[in-house]
Amino acid sequence: MNYKKILVTYLFLSSLFSNENLNEDKLIITYISGSPENYWSKKIDKIDISSNAIHIKNYNNYYFSSFYISNSKVYIDEFYYKKKFPENKLGNFNLKIGSLTNNFSSIDNNILSSGSMIESGNSYGIPRYLVEFSNSFKNFDIYFSLSDGILDKNSINIKRPFLHDKRLYLSFKNLSIGFVHNVIWGGEVTAYGKQPNDLDDYFRIFLGRGGGADAVITDQPNALGDAFGMWDFSYKKNVRLGEIKVYHQTYFEDGSGLKLTNKMSEFDGLSGISFKYKKTNILLERLKTTFQGGNTHPPGIDSYYWNGIYRNGWQFKDRIIGNIFINPSKNRVRVIHFGLSTVYKKNKFQLNFSDIKKYNISYNGFPPSETIDLGEDFFKKEIQRNLYYERKLNNFGVGIMLEDNQINTNIYFKIKYHL
């Protein structure tokens, strides 16, 4: 494989589209020897089985790109054009078009986190547009985004389905409340055929309405497509030593979960607390998805990240889009996740520890009685540990990742070059 030709071509193209203010450009080239095995490190380094890979990340005022060169192939992580419009009386408007991840949530892209219940940054960027609006009124902040894109084709999705996403966050001083609404719709799937995809159907999924006469019969009285989302709460406070932030995300798959009652959620979701002091960051998260509305239908058996029609679930190119510990086929879990990172002079340390319990029974299709018996359910426990050390040497960084998942101990290396 000729890495040199690919690198030279990319650097040349980058120079053509770069901003005139070169100080605002940032290029990071990382050589990776070995491959990650644990959930957290797979989210950080998005390569599969490979002994050698190159990751190239380029920041610019006009575009962002991130891709991997591995096994003689190029894998696009994210590549999009971005435009920040001049601030006016209405507020701030941003536009992004390309393959991208929308990580806006209470977690604030914290690298130590297991990731948002909606988008964690674990998958490759989804082809779409993203429009963002924000404004401030004294101590009151508002954020709204609208995005529409398209997912991938696979053994379930004969024709690629669409993805709709909208988010509204309201903040007052240190308290933030967010609402996220997603819908997978359209396309063509095995067993159910072509799904409604007209303009009228778009307005139906936008408003959360039921489908028309051409929709699957279960979608006619309910919301069209696979509709889901989350409530996102956070509170942060500056203290003498730094900043403390607490957050909780409640995921929902239907109207009962949307109501946000204790009976429906049984405190399912992702809860976390983070503390930042100078260059030190500490995080503790608790993830629970065992209730899912209850074991009888209705109103329970919600089956997080899985849908009876779009059975490939909340995945893109075989990578989970949401939280790294939830899989459509194994979606009932209890996890305690801890992370620590610090920088001392030219040394960087990162530590992650995950106590994972994956339960045997998941709600992937109803039995005839529409009742799930959890009396004899059991879980498989796994402990995952990650330790990363990096030493900065001028424009270079040399790092080593040590992983343990009770079965294997894995080591891989990274060499970074900053331009």
Mean pLDDT, range 90-117, rounded to an integer:
95
> Which comes out higher in pLDDT, residue 85 or 25?
85
CA distance 34 to 406: 19
Mean pLDDT (whole number) for 301-310: 93
Cβ neighbors of 400 (< 8 A, separation 6 or more) are 388, 389, 390, 411, 412, 413, 414
* DSSP-assigned letters across all residues of 343-381: EETTEEEEEEEEEEEEES---SS--TTSB---TT--EEE
Q: Please tell me what DSSP assigns to residue 24.
A: G
Whole-angstrom distance, CA of residue 326 vs CA of residue 304: 8
Nearest alpha-carbon partner for 273 in 233, 304, 314: 233
Question: Which are the contacts of 268, defined by CB distance < 8 A and separation ≥ 6?
Answer: 250, 251, 288, 289, 290, 291, 292
Amino acid identity at 60: N
**Smallest Cα–Cα separation from 388: which of 405, 400, 404?**
400
**Per-residue pLDDT tens digits for 349-361:** 999 999 999 999 9
Peptide bond into 367 cis (omega under 30): no
Q: Domain 85-377 carries which CATH code?
A: 2.40.160
- Confidence class of residue 112 from pLDDT cuts 50, 70 and 90? very high
Confidence at residue 20, expressed as pLDDT on a 0 to 100 scale:
43
pLDDT mean over 117-136: 97
Confidence check: pLDDT of 285 > 70: yes
Q: Name which of 13-17, 38-42, 204-208, 364-368 the model is least confident about.
A: 13-17
**Does the pLDDT of residue 2 top 60, yes or no?**
no
Q: Which spans in 223-329 are helix H?
A: 255-258, 262-265
pTM above 0.75, yes or no: yes
Domain boundaries along the sequence of the chain: 85-377
Tens digits of residue pLDDT in 203-257: 999 999 888 888 887 777 788 999 999 999 999 999 988 999 999 999 998 766 6
Report the relative pairing of strands 242-252 and 269-277 from DSSP bridges. Answer: antiparallel
Question: pLDDT, tens digit, for every residue of 63-77?
Answer: 999 999 998 889 999
Q: Residue 64 — φ and ψ, nearest 5°?
A: -135, 135
Residues 6+ apart with CB under 8 A from 289: 251, 268, 269, 304, 326, 331, 332, 333, 334
Pinpoint the alpha helices (H) of 229-315: 255-258, 262-265
Please check the confidence at residue 170 and state whether its pLDDT lies above 60.
yes
CA distance 415 to 419: 13
State in Å, rounded, how far the first CA of the chain is from the last one: 24
Best CA proximity match to 167, nearest among 226, 232, 95: 232
Question: Which pLDDT score is estimated for 347?
Answer: 98
Helix, strand, coil proportions of the chain in percent (round to 5)? 10, 50, 40
Spatial neighbors of 380 by CB under 8 A, at least 6 apart, are 357, 358, 360
Cβ atoms of 270 and 248 closer than 8 Å: yes
* Token reading at 259: 């109501």
**Average per-residue pLDDT for the chain:** 91
Give the mean pLDDT of 111-126.
97
Q: What pLDDT shows up at residue 25?
A: 54
Angle at 372 between CA 329 and CA 272, to 5 degrees: 55
C-alpha 32/C-alpha 146 separation (Å) is 35
CA dihedral over 93, 97, 102, 108, signed as positive or negative: negative
CA 289 from centroid of its chain's CA atoms:
17
